[in-house]
Amino acid sequence: MNADRLIRMLFNRVLRRSVNKGMNAGIDRMAGDSPEGQQRAKQSKKMARQARQAQRVVRKLGRF
């Protein structure tokens, strides 16, 4: 693996983590303190995580 590809891979990983943390923080902020809001936030985070995972699989399949 050449250095350019390694740097790009690390940058993408750091960027993806920061975006995901920001999305989760935004979901928490919108949910509020009520138990119902917390439950909706948990569901929203799970759906977002599943969508990101599906997107990664589709991208991976597109390479072959």
Query: pLDDT tens, 17-63?
Result: 888 888 888 888 888 888 898 999 999 999 999 998 999 899 889 87
Other residues' Cβ atoms within 10 Å of the Cβ of residue 38? 13
The count of C-alpha atoms lying within 13 angstroms of the C-alpha of 40, restricted to the half-sphere facing its C-beta, is 12
Instruction: State the amino acid at position 14 in one-letter form.
Output: V
The string of pLDDT tens digits covering residues 11-24 is 989 998 888 888 88
- Quote the CA–CA distance of 16 and 11 in Å, as a whole number: 9
pLDDT class of 64 with cuts at 50, 70, 90: low
- Quote the CA–CA distance of 55 and 34 in Å, as a whole number: 31
